Structure 1
Amino acid sequence: MNAFDFGIADLAPADQPSEDAMEAFRTGDLAVLSQHHAAPDGSHSFILAHDRSATWGAPGEPQLVAIAVARDLSRSTFTFETSHHATASFAQNWLAERGCPLDRIALRGGDYIEPADDLTVQVERQIQSSGTRYEVLDTFTSDYDPSEAWTLVRDSHAVQTPVRLFHEEWDHDAGTYTMREGAFADVDAAQTWLDERSGPLPEPPEYSDHNGAVVRARIARIALARSTGASTTPQTGLGAPRTTAAGRVQRPARGRLR
């Protein structure tokens, strides 16, 4: 779907938030990356898109938008929700929470950058299926030197180091990206790492405790599935094609978390 047609021309917004969301919506700035329309009655539409205007807007703003449309044909109404995200895996999680099957909003091959390794696939799979586990605290996106995006969250499942940083970095020359999870005691510790980058991203403690075996087993299964050509978790990087606006935006100095 290159043009946005939500099939709501003859329908009225069901509530004020849906009406406000539609009025604020600017389809001309968006490029559809993936979409799913529920069959057979088409009652729901789920869309993942790249907001091209974000590269010229406020520095660091998220460049992906997730859209969920639900139609009540018996009442001739619709609801309309949107949510902005730094990485596709969090956008896909948001859509999945609203009823979209994850395999229907995959970003597969073609012009999309590929995960560089199996750990990237594992971390994304974890995010996509996390439900409401993560409370998003802040995000940042830069498509210039280095090309990266991160999402800072509070992990409701973590006993130790509950503040988690999901850091995605792209290698446009190789056409690949990595996603890593870092663990911190609090937001200040995470901010210090982001400001200084004085060492590697600290791994979550569960990578090295008894759950580490589970993590490694999952990665091994992903590696086997990819090597044999079996179905794996969708490739999900920033979502923009290799022709994304890398280098078009001056990378801003990092400020404190909002």
Structure 2
Amino acid sequence: MSDELDLHLDDLGPADAKSEYAEQQFWAGDLTVLAEHHTTPHGSHSYVVAHDGSVTWGVPGEPQVAAIKVARNLSLNTFTFEFAYHATVSFAQNWLIERGCPPEKIAQAGGDLMKPADDLTVRIEQQIRESGTRYEVLDSQTSDYDPCETWTLARDSSAAQAPIRVFLEEGDFAAHTYTLREGAFADTDAAQNWLDERSSLLPQPPEHRGEATALRTRAALTRSAATSAIPKAGLDIHSPPAGPVQRPNPGRSI
């Protein structure tokens, strides 16, 4: 186990065979902590998001982000140990939040990670992190070379249309940033075909298209109101001009 990860298990033994096996698995890993929360320095629970560098040398495409939960029974000197691997940090954080970790304690990931490239990436990550059991993960793929990307294929239980979602994270080594986008598909075959071919843009979820339309409508109304407030140039209420009135051009609404 990496020196950077301390789960405070000294003098404690596994409470069951599953916990014993889970702990042994992590002794073989190359873990770097990305986010963690401990109830107290030696309290009852620990929640950790870590990158497992050893996965890079294993089966190609396997997820590399580990979510770990440890619960200690200090009166019995035992612990239980759970873990799951995910393609992205936000899905690992969601797994821990669903198992009792306060969201605000695990939301920020540190280390020398790539940073979100834009606000949409931040919003989709928050959406995943706080989604509860909304998404059923069906498959994932991780590539840390060329292309530098991960994708997670999930079923959205709250979607009235296009319930199969693809969350595509793409990294930019030069800028040390990444983007995360969500695509919507009618079924898993359509999603897999898109992932294999990449011959079109990632289709937006229907609810996102509605949000975009609402934003454009509000922007158009704002511009229209601003234009109406502009005084009519050369207009004199006492002496009408001899020629036609030239009205300001309000511009084209999008």
Is 2:87 aligned against 1:81? Answer: no
Larger gyration radius, structure 1 or structure 2:
2
- Within-5 A mapping of 1:20-31: 20-26=21-27, 28-31=29-32
- Residue matched to 2:162: 161
- Structure 1 partner of 2:5: 4
Residue of structure 2 in register with 1:141 after alignment: 142
Map of 1:255 onto structure 2: none
For 2:28 and 2:5, locate their aligned partners in 1 and report how far apart those are by CA, in whole Å: 7
Distance 1:145 1:210, change over 3 A: closer
Question: Partners in 2 of 1:53 and 1:211 — Cα distance?
Answer: 41
The residue number in structure 2 matching 1:37 is: 38
Cα deviation 1:63-104 (Å, max 9, x = unaligned): 111111000112221110011010000001011111222332
Identity in percent: 62
Paired residues for 1:92-241 under 5 Å? 92-107=93-108, 111-209=112-210, 213=214
**In structure 1, distance between residues paired with 2:111 and 2:12:** 35
Q: What is the CA–CA distance in structure 1 between the aligned matches of 2:80 and 2:138, rounded to whole Å?
A: 26
State the shift of 1:49 in Å.
Answer: 0.9
- After superposition, the C-alpha distances for 1:100-138 in whole angstroms (9 at most, x for unaligned) are 223322445663211111111110000000011110000
Provide the C-alpha distance between the structure 1 equivalents of 2:181 and 2:37, rounded to a whole number of angstroms.
28
- Contact 2:155/2:163 (<8 A) preserved: yes
Q: CA RMSD in A?
A: 2.3
Partners of 2:18 and 2:213 in 1: CA distance: 43
Q: For 1:15 and 1:25, how far apart are their aligned partners in 2?
A: 16
Is residue 4–residue 27 contact of structure 1 (8 Å, CA) maintained in 2? no
Greater Cα offset, 26-35 or 1-10: 1-10
Distance 1:30 1:127, change over 3 A: same
1:8–1:163 Cα change, 3 Å: same
Question: 1:59 offset after TM fit, Å?
Answer: 0.8
Counterpart of 1:54? 55
Note if contact 1:32-1:50 (Cα within 8 Å) is conserved in structure 2: yes
The 2-side partners of 1:64 and 1:212 are apart by 36
Q: Indicate if the aligned counterparts of 1:51 and 1:63 stay in contact, CA closer than 8 A.
A: yes
State the TM-score, normalizing by the size of structure 1. Answer: 0.78
Contact 1:2–1:32 under 8 Å retained in 2: no
Matched with 2:226 is: none
Tell me the SS of whatever aligns to 2:159. Answer: coil
Q: TM-score, normalised by structure 2?
A: 0.79
Which blocks of at least 5 consecutive residues in structure 2 are unaligned? 219-254
Alignment-derived partner of residue 228 in structure 2: none
| Residue of structure 1 equivalent to 2:225 | none
Distance 1:189 1:28, change over 3 A: closer
1:68 corresponds in structure 2 to 69
Moved more, 67-76 or 125-134: 67-76
**CA distance change for structure 1 residues 101 and 79 in 2, over 3 Å: closer, same or farther?**
same
> Is 1:153–1:164's contact at 8 Å kept on the other side of the alignment?
yes
**3-state SS in 2 of match to 1:25:** helix
Separation (CA, whole Å) in 2 of partners of 1:40 and 1:2? 16
**Greater Cα shift, 93-102 or 167-176:** 93-102
Partner of 2:239: none
Indicate the SS of the match to 2:51.
strand
Count, aligned residues: 216
TM-fit CA distance, 1:20? 1.6
Contact 2:67 2:95 in 1 (8 A): yes
Distance 1:213 1:125 in 2: 21
Q: For 1:29-82, what per-residue CA distance to the aligned partner results, in whole angstroms no more than 9, with x for missing partners?
A: 111122111127511111111111111111100011111100011222111001
Structure 2 distance, partners of 1:201, 1:176, is 20
* Counterpart contact for 1:168–1:179, Cα < 8 Å: yes
